C-alpha cells in the first residue's frame, strides 16, 4: 500500500475541521479523488451535537480496512462498492464486521454503478446501514444522511457505555459482596468507586474525593475516605465537613434520598437493621444523566452490601457470645470461670497466627476454642467436682468428656463447630503419646489440639482461681520447659516463650 492510498492531512491522522479530539470521525473510502473533495466541501460546516467532522481518507479497500482497524471509534464509513475489484467494498464490509468485530460503525455504501451491486441484494446480505447512488447525494441529502448516521452511532454508543457501566457496577458489586468485614468493605468501596468513575472519563487528577459514613439520623460517623478525607475517620460528620455540606448530608439522610448538588453527590442507604450508610463525593461532575443513574445504582448496591455485612457480623457476634456463654457454663460447673474460656480463645488465636495460620483460620480457631471442654456437661458433678483424687474408674469416666464433646459438635456444616469438635476431641492428647483419648503423638495431633493444650494449661496455671493462687510466671515457664517434647509440641512451646508478653497481656485484660 502506498502513501496515496491512505492519505492524512496531519502527521498522524487526516482530520479537517476544529477540535479533532472531539470530532466525529468519518472514513471516506473511494478510489476517485474528486469524491473525497466533494464530500469534504459539502460537509465542511457540518455540526452534530456541537461537534465537527474529522475526515479520514482511504483510496482503496485495503487502506479503508487499515483506517477502520486503527480508528475503532470512527462513527461513519462512506464506502464505494467498486475499487480494487468489482466487489471490494462489499468484502470490506464483511471484514470490518467479522474480523474487527466492529458493529458500531455506521456503513453507507455509495456506488456509481448500481447494477454491479443491486440494492435489495446488498441490503439483505450485508450488514450495512444505507445504500446510495452517488448521483443521489447532493449536499443537502449528504447532510441529512450524516445526521441519521450520527444519531444512530450516538445512540448505540450510549447503549454501549451504559452496558459497560452496568457491567462494571456488577463486577464491582460482586467484589464488594464477597467481602467479609466492615474494615475491608470501607476501603474497597472507595477503590471500586474510583475505577467506576474512570469508566466515565473521570481521572484521579480530576480531584474527586470521597468518604463513607455510617450511623443513625443526626449521628453519622466517618468510616473511611480518600487521602483528602482519610484523617477524618471516626469523626462525626458535623465535625469532619463544612457546616453547609454536613447539613446537606443530614437533609438527604433524614429524607432517605440520594442527590447531586453541583460537584457534590450524597448517596443514602437506609438500613433495615443496624446503622445507615452514606457515600459522599466532592469534585464529581457527571457528564450525562447516565452517569448519575449508574452512580445511584452503585450507591444502592453498596448500601445492600453494607447491610449484609452488618447482619453477618451481628450473627457472628451472637454466635460468638453464645459459644462463650456455653463454654462459661461448662467451666462454672467445674469451678472454673467464664473468663478462662475467653483467655484460652485469645491465646489460641495468638499462637495460631504465630504458627502460620491465616488470619481467618486463626479467627475461626478463636471462635471454636471456648467449646473445648463442652463434653464436661456429660460428667456427673460428683466426679467433676470431687475434691480429692479420682479413682481409676472415675478417671476413665472423666476422660470420656473428650468423646462427649466431639459427639455434641460433630456433623455440623458450620466451620466453627467442625473446628470445635476437633479441639474438644484432641486437646488432651500429648506430644509423646501419653495423652487421651487416642494416645496420638507428635503431628498425628491436629495443630488445633496442640495449641489448645498449651493455651488451656498456661491459663489454668497462670490465672488465679477461687481454690488456688496464680503460679508465678517463672514457675509456669519452667513447667513448659520440663514438658517441652513430652506434653507439648516443642515448636509451639518456643512460640509461647516468644509471645509471652502478649499472652500475659491477654491474661491481665481478662482477669476474673
What CATH number has the domain bearing residue 191? Answer: 3.30.450.40
The strands making up 259-261's β-sheet, listed across from edge to edge, are 219-225, 209-216, 276-282, 264-269, 259-261
Cell readout for 403 is 468423646
Cα 308–313–316 angle (5° rounding)? 125
Name the residues annotated as catalytic. Answer: 376
**Whether residue 412 sits in one domain with residue 381:** yes
Which H or E element spans position 446? none
Same domain, 183 and 136: no
Q: What's the pLDDT score for residue 232?
A: 86
CA distances from 184 to 132, 179, 188, 226, 392 (A): 59, 7, 6, 14, 53
For residue 368 the three cell numbers come to 471454636
Tell whether 140 and 280 lie within a shared domain. Answer: no
Q: Given this model, what pLDDT does residue 500 score? A: 95
What are the distances in angstroms from CA 173 to CA 256, 275, 300? Answer: 21, 20, 10
What average pLDDT values come out for the chain (512 residues) when binned by 10 residues?
44 38 87 89 90 92 93 92 84 91 90 59 75 78 90 83 61 58 58 57 51 80 78 88 90 85 82 74 72 71 68 68 68 61 92 94 90 87 84 92 89 86 95 95 96 95 78 95 96 96 92 73
Classify residue 436: in a domain, yes or no: yes
As a whole number of angstroms, the distance between CA 120 and CA 163 comes to 33
Q: Is 319 inside any structural domain?
A: no
Residues 76 and 191 reside in one and the same domain: no
> Is 149 part of any domain?
yes
Q: How many domains does the chain have?
A: 3
Whether residue 215 lies inside any domain: the answer is yes
Closest residue by Cα to residue 161 from 289, 338, 280: 289
What is the reported pLDDT for 163? 66
Quick one: pLDDT at residue 111?
A: 77
Q: What is the pLDDT of residue 131?
A: 81
Instruction: Report if residue 313 sits inside a domain.
Output: no
Domain that holds residue 492: 334-509
**Are 140 and 105 part of one and the same domain?**
yes
Residue 265's pLDDT is: 84
Instruction: Tell me, yes or no, whether 92 and 142 share the same domain.
Output: yes
Q: Let me know whether 279 and 362 are in one domain.
A: no
Q: What are phi and psi of 414, to 5 degrees?
A: -90, 135
Q: Which three cell numbers stand for residue 142?
A: 449528504
Residue 48's domain is classified under what CATH number?
3.40.50.2300
Please give the Cα distance from 429 to 439 (Å, whole number).
6
Q: Any idea of the CA torsion for 451, 452, 454, 460, to the nearest 10 degrees?
A: 160
The whole-number pLDDT of residue 158 equals 73
Strand-pairing partners, residue 55, are 26
Q: What is the 3-state secondary structure (H, E, C) of 243-265?
A: HHHHHHHHHHHHHCCCEEECCEE
C-alpha cell at 15: 482530520
pTM listed for this prediction:
0.50
| 254 shares its domain with 361 | no
**Are residues 33 and 136 both part of a single domain?**
yes
Check whether residue 346 and residue 296 sit in a common domain.
no
d(CA 403, CA 375): 7
| Residue whose C-alpha is closest to residue 372's, from 420, 331, 324, 329 | 420
Same-domain pairing of 154 and 183: no
**Among the residues of 24-180, which ranges form H helices?**
33-43, 61-70, 88-98, 119-125, 139-177
Question: Do residues 145 and 25 share a domain?
Answer: yes
Q: What is the pLDDT of residue 119?
A: 59
Question: Is 480 within the bounds of a domain?
Answer: yes
CATH assignment at residue 382: 1.10.3210.10
Amino acid at each position: 500500500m502506498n502513501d496515496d492510498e491512505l492519505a492524512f492531512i496531519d502527521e498522524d491522522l487526516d482530520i479537517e475541521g476544529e477540535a479533532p479530539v472531539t470530532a466525529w470521525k468519518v472514513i471516506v473510502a473511494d478510489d476517485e479523488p474528486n469524491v473525497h473533495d466533494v464530500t469534504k466541501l459539502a460537509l465542511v460546516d457540518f455540526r452534530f451535537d456541537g461537534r465537527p467532522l474529522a475526515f479520514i481518507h482511504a483510496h482503496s479497500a485495503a487502506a479503508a480496512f487499515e483506517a477502520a482497524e486503527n480508528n475503532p471509534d470512527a462513527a461513519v464509513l462512506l464506502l464505494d462498492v467498486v475499487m480494487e475489484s468489482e466487489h471490494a467494498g462489499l468484502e470490506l464490509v464483511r471484514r470490518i464486521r467479522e474480523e474487527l468485530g466492529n458493529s458500531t460503525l455506521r456503513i453507507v455504501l455509495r456506488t456509481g454503478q448500481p447494477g454491479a451491486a443491486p440494492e435489495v441484494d446488498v441490503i439483505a446480505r450485508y450488514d450495512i446501514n444505507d445504500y446510495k447512488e452517488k448521483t443521489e447525494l447532493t449536499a443537502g441529502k449528504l447532510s441529512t444522511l450524516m445526521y441519521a448516521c450520527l444519531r444512530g452511532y450516538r445512540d448505540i454508543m450510549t447503549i454501549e457505555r451504559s452496558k459497560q457501566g452496568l457491567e462494571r457496577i456488577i463486577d464491582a458489586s460482586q467484589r464488594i459482596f464477597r467481602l467479609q468485614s466492615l474494615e475491608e468493605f470501607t476501603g474497597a468501596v472507595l477503590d471500586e468507586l474510583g475505577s467506576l468513575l474512570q469508566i466515565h472519563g473521570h481521572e484521579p487528577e480530576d480531584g474527586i474525593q470521597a468518604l463513607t459514613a455510617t450511623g443513625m439520623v443526626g449521628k453519622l460517623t466517618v468510616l473511611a475516605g480518600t487521602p483528602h478525607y482519610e484523617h477524618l475517620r471516626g469523626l462525626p460528620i458535623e465535625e469532619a465537613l463544612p457546616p453547609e455540606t454536613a447539613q446537606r448530608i443530614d437533609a438527604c439522610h433524614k429524607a432517605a434520598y440520594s442527590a447531586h448538588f453541583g460537584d457534590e453527590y450524597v448517596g443514602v442507604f437506609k438500613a433495615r437493621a443496624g446503622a445507615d450508610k452514606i457515600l459522599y463525593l466532592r469534585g464529581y461532575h457527571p457528564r450525562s444523566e447516565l452517569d448519575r443513574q449508574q452512580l445511584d445504582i452503585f450507591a444502592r448496591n453498596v448500601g445492600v452490601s453494607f447491610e449484609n455485612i452488618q447482619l453477618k457480623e451481628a450473627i457472628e457476634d451472637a454466635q460468638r457470645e453464645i459459644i462463650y456463654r456455653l463454654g462459661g457454663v461448662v467451666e462454672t460447673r467445674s469451678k472454673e470461670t467464664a473468663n478462662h474460656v475467653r483467655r484460652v480463645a485469645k491465646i489460641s488465636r495468638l499462637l495460631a497466627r504465630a504458627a502460620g495460620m491465616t488470619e481467618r483460620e486463626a479467627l475461626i480457631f478463636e471462635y471454636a476454642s471456648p467449646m473445648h471442654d463442652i463434653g464436661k456437661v456429660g460428667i456427673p458433678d460428683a466426679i467433676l467436682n470431687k475434691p480429692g483424687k479420682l479413682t481409676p474408674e472415675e478417671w476413665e469416666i472423666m476422660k470420656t468428656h473428650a468423646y462427649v464433646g466431639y459427639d455434641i459438635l460433630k456433623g455440623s456444616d458450620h466451620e466453627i463447630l467442625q473446628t470445635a469438635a476437633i479441639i474438644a476431641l484432641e486437646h488432651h492428647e500429648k506430644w509423646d503419646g501419653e495423652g487421651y483419648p487416642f494416645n496420638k503423638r507428635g503431628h498425628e495431633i491436629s495443630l488445633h489440639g496442640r495449641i489448645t493444650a498449651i493455651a488451656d494449661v498456661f491459663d489454668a496455671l497462670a490465672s488465679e482461681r477461687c481454690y488456688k493462687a496464680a503460679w508465678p510466671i517463672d514457675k509456669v515457664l519452667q513447667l513448659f520447659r520440663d514438658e517441652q517434647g513430652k506434653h507439648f509440641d516443642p515448636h509451639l512451646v518456643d512460640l509461647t516463650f516468644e509471645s509471652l508478653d502478649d499472652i500475659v497481656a491477654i491474661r491481665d485484660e481478662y482477669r476474673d
